[in-house]
């Protein structure tokens, strides 16, 4: 593994390997001093073209737990504004001896490891990996599970990466959304589609809610947030349709009261903060697999 | 101690304890390598809703001297803008395994230690603690001292926390300000009030100047900065009214020539940079008391 | 050496010493774990008044390789906006026990080491030092070399520091630029001037291209970028005029297709990424020489 750009690059085996390595780092994260020397002397830079505090903090925490050095810069205030190409920016970073670049932007042909943190190629591979890991903590395997992904699939890099990863691990996916929030073409997507959340919920093992952006209203893709919630929100009433072992997931940040009712977000079956916690361990695994010297995890 | 939200939560004994622990860390800060392993493996995040470079750098320096990891983000560019509740933001940070959050915003009911860095509840408790510590370096005790707090009390979280802390340690406080810059009600504040700085200075042991914001002019709370300086500025002439042991303090950043004359800020009795230096040690003490494992200071 | 404000402060011997120390740190940077404990316990703050991600990352990487702690803040969002003088800001930083301040702004009379990172006094001394170091990697000595500096000399702090450093090490410099992009007076500059790049290139040992800013068009200093490229750009045709050992340099970020053709930037003789890599080692040398305890490099 040289870069992590897309879930598709990993394949089923690659995904399985990341999840195995993640196990070790979940254990590390639980220690009183959650730190291993696996990446001592390595430097990881986060280079974010759009701000994402959550993902950046998760990657930085992961790197620090592996004893890597971290630096970050937001590209909006950097030389990219001055018209430098991304290629030159990344080459510059590389020339400084930096080992990995966590980016929200496409990039290729560079020597430093490049980790897609959620924008380029319309993917967010580490989110999909942590989602798989979280489901497996509860259900042992994704094989044969039924996942309902609900909401703004059209604008979601999470949805695309999740569908790829869930499918690779044997789950089947139903997208539940109004037609205006589905991609213009789903050709080649291994998914079913529904516009009726109530009908889908009783058979779902996982209901994965996507964040509803305010912008969709102004773009006339939705009549109103209230209408969206009425038809696609996981209200208390709808959550009662789920079977006992079904999980509720969300990539965060949540709009409580829009795509998810506040009290549903606080149910034990809602594993949203576990997703966040597993995110650090999954990113440790990815960083380790890209940068580790082969000298072991340093556990 | 689980959080540090308000001086009122500490009480006299709590304040005394912070000041005792601070002594040790003043000593650490004076070492060639000012670093102890007391918080090895802990992670402290500063989450600032309004920018305050000085306070942020002071907390980060404190955390690094205790061997904690630090990360920071300015909330103006983060997911809070996206409508996420602060509670969800802090829960997210917590789920990543972060041990303490230094915030300029109210927050409650979370597991990570929360340290109020100067905004919520109109308080700035670590500033008050470092002010007490600085006074004690010069006067042994605050008991029986007379402190004059001069300026824009109405908009000052420092003033409120200082009054609470000074009073808890036995000092009495006089607020000196034009009526427009005093809070609408002082009911319950254990203070005297004066509008005549010349009359107050000869009997003051400490004159504590608050920063005068340009905004007060545009809000018509003051006729002009020049008029403010004429009546409430610590000019050279006024500084001569102070008795020999009286201290001049300021929370920074100073407006030289407005609330304090440039040459007064440079007098030996002006302990303003000592306040800054003590700020690091006080914040080490607070972080240690909130996060330390009980295994000792690691001195 | 207390501060590094200008190349002129260093003199020939000082420059030579920095370059000697840099050699050691180039070696350190090539290690699997590129880190020495030379500045353990020291804290370096970057305080940038205008954003410069590249220079900031280079200094931070340098400091981390020396085991110093780093913190940074962009002054645009800090208390400087609130009207605090730079002197008070730096004194505040100093009072916190911070050992060095990397600034893009003039400053004087402070105890912490101050390193000019490229703005004050119209200089960028560490850039000039890394340029000298890079040339010496290829040509052993600058003595007797002929350097052509091409482009917007008028607005370039790099040009000024480079002329001083190249001259101190025995090279002679020709400035090649349209009259509108030369300083109003070159009195005292030890340089030749030309407006004919084709005539200069065959005898040049180094052609140093400056970044062409879009702003120059709107300021009417240039008719068009296309015209600039036609007369002063290092096109493929012009690069062929260079002798075999001549080097092509650029401080970055490049405008490919404007001051340098994309394919010229990728020639082996273009040592632009080596400049970036050497930047880290040169900044390690400067930090070490300003902050080191005399206990050795810790190699």
Distance CA B156, CA B178 (A): 14
Nearest 5°: CA angle at B41, between B36 and B45?
A: 95
Give me the pLDDT at residue A278, please.
93
Residue C57's closest CA among C69, C77, C72? Answer: C72
Q: List the single residue in C40, C45, C92 with the smallest CB-CB distance to B252.
A: C92
Query: Do C215 and C255 contact (CB within 8 A), yes or no?
Result: no
Place of tokens 């632009």: C272
| pLDDT at position C239 over 70 | yes
How far does B120 lie from chain C, in Å, by closest CA? 20
Q: Which residues contact B96 (CB under 8 A, 6 or more apart)?
A: A57, A58, A61, A276, A277, A279, A280
How far does A274 lie from chain B, in Å, by closest CA? 7
The DSSP letter of residue B67 is T
Query: Do C64 and C70 contact (CB within 8 A), yes or no?
Result: yes
Contact A254 B84 (CB under 8 A): yes
Residue B98's closest CA among B117, B86, B111? Answer: B111
How far does B109 lie from chain C, in Å, by closest CA? 30
Residue C74's closest CA among C99, C95, C102? Answer: C102
Residue C165's closest CA among C151, C178, C147? Answer: C147
B54 among known catalytic residues? yes
Query: Do C86 and C69 contact (CB within 8 A), yes or no?
Result: no
Answer yes or no: is the ipTM higher than 0.90: no
Q: Which residues of B touch C (CB under 8 A)?
A: 29, 31-35, 51-54, 56-58, 60-61, 64, 74, 213-214, 252-256, 273-274, 276-277, 279-280
Long-range interactions of C76-81: CB distance < 8 A, separation 24+: C76/C49, C76/C50, C76/C51, C77/B51, C77/B53, C77/B74, C78/B51, C78/B53, C78/B54, C79/B52, C79/B53, C79/B54, C79/B252, C79/B253, C80/C49
Active site residue: C20, C31, C54, C226, which one?
C54
Across B204-217, average pLDDT: 89
Residue of chain A nearest B42, judged by CA positions: A33
Question: What would the two tokens of residue B197 be?
Answer: 């700085």
Distance CA B159, CA B185 (A): 14
Give me the pLDDT at residue C238, please.
98
| pLDDT at position B67 over 70 | yes
Q: Which residues of B fall within a CB distance of 8 Å from A279?
A: 96
Give me the pLDDT at residue C110, please.
57
Q: Which residues contact C65 (CB under 8 A, 6 or more apart)?
A: C25, C28, C29, C34, C35, C36, C280, C284
- Sequential DSSP letters for chain C: ---B--HHHHHHHHHHHHHHHHHHHHHHHTSSS----TTTT-EEEEEESS--HHHHHHHHHHHHHTT-EEEEEEGGGSGGGGT--HHHHHHHHHHTT--EEEESS---S-SSEEEE-S-GGG--HHHHHHHHHHHHHHHS--TT-EEEEES-GGG-HHHHHHHHHHHHTT-EEEEE--GGGS-S--TT--EEEES-HHHHGGG-SEEEEPPPPTHHHHTTSSS-HHHHHHHHSB-HHHHTTS-TT-EEE--S---BTTTB-HHHHTSTTB-HHHHHHHHHHHHHHHHHHHH--SS----
Distance CA B190, CA A172 (A): 67
Round the average pLDDT of chain B to a whole number and report it. 86
Contact A256 B85 (CB under 8 A): yes
Least confident of B161-170, C51-60, C278-287: C51-60
Give me the pLDDT at residue B47, please.
77
Question: What would the two tokens of residue C235 be?
Answer: 């096109």
| pLDDT at position A263 over 70 | yes
Question: What is the pTM for the complete model shown?
Answer: 0.79
Q: List the single residue in B43, B73, B97 with the smallest CB-CB distance to A53.
A: B73
Give me the pLDDT at residue C216, please.
79
Give me the pLDDT at residue B80, please.
44
At B244-283, the pLDDT tens digits run 999 999 998 888 999 999 999 999 999 999 999 999 999 9
Q: Which residues of C fall within a CB distance of 8 Å from A98?
A: 57, 61
A104 among known catalytic residues? yes
| pLDDT at position A268 over 90 | yes
Maximum mean pLDDT: which of A132-146, B215-229, C282-296: A132-146
Residue of chain C nearest B279, judged by CA positions: C96
Q: How many CA atoms lie within 13 A of A40 on its CB side?
A: 13
Contact A96 C34 (CB under 8 A): no
**β-pairing, C43-48 with C100-103?**
parallel
| pLDDT at position B108 over 80 | no
Q: List the single residue in C82, C89, C97 with the smallest CB-CB distance to B34.
A: C97
Q: Which residues of A fall within a CB distance of 8 Å from B293?
A: 32
Across B289-297, average pLDDT: 72
Does residue A49 sit in helix, strand or coil? Answer: coil
Residues C29, C35, C39, C44, CA torsion sign: positive
A226 among known catalytic residues? no
Q: List the single residue in A71, A92, A97 with the smallest CB-CB distance to C60.
A: A71
């Amino acid at each position: 593994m040289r870069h992590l750009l897309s879930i598709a690059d990993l394949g089923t085996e690659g995904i399985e390997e990341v999840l195995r390595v993640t196990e070790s780092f979940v254990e590390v994260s639980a220690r009183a001093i959650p730190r291993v020397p696996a990446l001592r002397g390595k430097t990881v830079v986060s280079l974010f073209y759009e701000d994402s505090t959550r993902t950046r903090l998760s990657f930085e925490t992961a790197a620090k737990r592996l004893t890597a050095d971290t630096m970050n810069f937001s590209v909006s205030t950097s030389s990219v504004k001055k018209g430098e190409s991304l290629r030159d920016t990344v080459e510059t970073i590389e020339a400084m001896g930096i080992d990995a670049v966590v980016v929200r932007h496409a990039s290729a042909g560079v020597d430093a490891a490049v980790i897609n943190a959620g924008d380029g190629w319309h993917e967010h591979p580490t989110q999909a990996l942590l989602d798989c890991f979280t489901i497996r903590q509860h259900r042992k395997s994704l094989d044969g599970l039924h996942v309902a992904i609900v909401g703004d699939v059209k604008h979601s890099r999470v949805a695309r990466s999740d569908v790829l990863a869930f499918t690779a691990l044997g789950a089947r996916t139903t997208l539940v959304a109004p037609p205006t929030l589905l991609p213009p073409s789903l050709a080649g997507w291994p998914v079913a589609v529904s516009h009726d959340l109530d009908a889908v919920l009783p058979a779902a093992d996982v209901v994965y809610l996507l964040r509803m952006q305010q912008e969709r209203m102004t773009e006339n893709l939705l009549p109103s947030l209230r209408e969206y919630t009425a038809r696609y929100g996981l209200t208390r009433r709808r959550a009662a349709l789920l079977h006992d072992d079904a999980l509720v997931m969300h990539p965060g940040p949540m709009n409580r009261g829009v795509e998810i009712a506040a009290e549903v977000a606080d149910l034990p079956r809602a594993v949203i903060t576990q997703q966040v916690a597993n995110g650090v361990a999954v990113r440790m695994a990815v960083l380790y697999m890209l940068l580790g010297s082969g000298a072991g995890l340093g556990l």
